[in-house]
Amino acid sequence: MPKEVMIGSGVGLMLFMIFLGINVFPIILFGLLAVVLFIMFEGQLQDKIAGFGTSVKTIEPVTFDDVGGQDTAIAEFKEALEFLLKPLEIVKMGIRPIKGIILVGPPGTGKTLLAKAAASYTKSAFVAASGSEFIEMYAGVGAKRVRQLFSEARKKAKREGKSGAIVFIDELEILGAKRGSHHSHMEYDQTLNQLLVEMDGISNDAETMLLVVGATNRADMLDPAILRPGRFDRQVIVNLPDKKGRLKILMIHTQNKPLADDVCLEDIAKATFGFSGAQIESLANEAAILALRDGEQRIAHRYFVEAIDKVILGEKLDRRLSDEELQRVSIHEAGHAVVSELVKPGSVSSLTIVPRGQALGFMRKNTPEHDQYLYTRQELEEQIMVALGGAVAEDMNFGSRSTGARNDFEQAWTLAKDIITSGMSTLGVIAVTEVPSELVFKECTAMLKNIEEKTTNLLDDNRHLLQAVSSRLLEEETLERARFLDIIQTA
Ligand code: ATP
């Protein structure tokens, strides 16, 4: 029924009731209350309805200062955001607007954070959805959700009095994968087509300037149509942070935490090579939890060190190993540690036989002064020796190996393949795709056999160290660097 007819009928009814002498004052009061409540809740309701489950989130005040270790990505991103900041100049110069930016990088590097910061930087509204939320078994639902997301972005910008909106789509590879590549491809294709239609509809003269920011860690899976100029024509790489970046992220996430005087964030940044921003955030959080568990008022450095292990390997377990298993684990870890110290003095940080996550024990390496991205053949061979050291030590001591070396072997195999693909094996310079896989397999096996022999000889010559470290480890469960060094030097 049209609104006007309803209002007209309502007024008519009131007049008729007054005419009959009925007191209409409570009814009017009730009506007014209903209208006020309706207006108050309408905004929230719209957020919920729009998207039928698509999470349309309200932006928290995130700025580029909250994103650490991504200076290059931020600079490139800001450049692309100029047109949202200066729409008039862009129109005057006849510049085609940038409609889409893709943030490409590993999980947890801050892509969502960057998109949110972009919204506050450009004073735009922010709506977000994830690629997987669009895909349903029912035909047409995904396409409808895409339409709703864009329409919600426009509405939200209007509601918040903003001239632009950022539409953030996480896991873009699910929504924007190459057409025809999915099993139920009709539905996927329709959804992608709708996204392309919406993006084609973005124009300079629209009431609300829209920018679509997609995030993915699989840019190779995206349909070429999505990357065409005029669609997602800018790619910003969001890499894992380097040491300086990790320090900045640590500073951001310890800002609100009471740190003890002995905390050295530099050292923690050094020890977390390969960590993403999300892992560093989790590390800071875990350190605080560990300190709280011990009833401490402030977070000491050792809690951060323990939190590193926790983030890498998982929670400490109460699992009880049998005595034989404990002996095996201690000789295994001692094998890793002795080889590591012999091939690269100063490389062992600590070793333990306290189970954590999937690991029954582990040796932590000392992190080098600087992040390392390039390795020589010798360095890779040494790493393989360290990886094989555990199984070789078990073999020497018990005359058998165990399943505990499975991950070590995988690591050794990967490193051996790295040597081959980098042209540092006896196969010489190769393109791995052009070489029969049997040949690569044979080269890997030969190389590993050779390195295994070297490791056995090394440990054989240093049996006394192996025994000393393993028996101490069995007694003390965890050996920090100073204690380990002490044992090695006095053995
Ligand atoms: P995914 O690809 O898994 O969606 P993402 O790259 O979008 O991950 P975010 O969701 O932005 O990562 O990061 C998750 C959390 O990790 C953030 O809320 C923040 O606390 C922390 N974080 C990640 N990267 C950074 C960073 N560069 N600086 C500061 N904090 C970060």
13-23 confidence digits (pLDDT tens): 777 777 777 77
How confident is the model at residue 288, as a pLDDT?
Answer: 96
Q: Tens digits of per-residue pLDDT, 322-371?
A: 888 899 999 999 999 999 999 999 999 889 998 877 788 889 888 777 77
How confident is the model at residue 168, as a pLDDT?
Answer: 95
**Domain boundaries of the chain, sorted by first residue:** 2-53, 64-237, 243-313, 323-490
Measure 200 CA to ligand 1 centroid, in angstroms: 30
- pLDDT at residue 51 greater than cutoff 60: no
Q: Tell me the fold of 243-313.
A: Helicase, Ruva Protein; domain 3 (1.10.8)
Task: Output the CA torsion sign for 117, 119, 125, 126.
Answer: negative
φ, ψ (nearest 5 deg) of residue 479: -120, 120
Q: How far is CA 155 from CA 62, 111, 271, in A?
A: 22, 24, 47
How confident is the model at residue 81, as a pLDDT?
Answer: 87
- At 146, the amino acid letter reads V
Residues with CB under 6 A from ligand 1: 67-70, 107-113, 170, 215, 217, 249, 252, 277-278, 281
CATH of domain 64-237: 3.40.50.300
CATH superfamily, domain 323-490, is Peptidase M41 (1.20.58.760)
- pLDDT at residue 202 greater than cutoff 50: yes
Residue 478 carries which DSSP code? E
Ligand 1 nearest-atom number relative to CA 68: 28
CA distance 88 to 78: 17
> Once rounded to an integer, what is the mean pLDDT over residues 86-106?
85
Residue 399 carries which DSSP code? S
Quick one: tokens of 295?
């009833």
Ligand 1 nearest-atom number relative to CA 114: 11
- pLDDT at residue 215 greater than cutoff 70: yes
Q: Tens digits of per-residue pLDDT, 392-414?
A: 999 999 999 998 888 999 999 99
SS3 for 251?
helix
Q: How far is CA 350 from CA 99, 479, 481, 484, in A?
A: 51, 6, 5, 8
Confidence of residue 233 (pLDDT cuts 50, 70, 90): confident
Which residue, judged by its Cα, is nearest atom 21 of ligand 1? 278
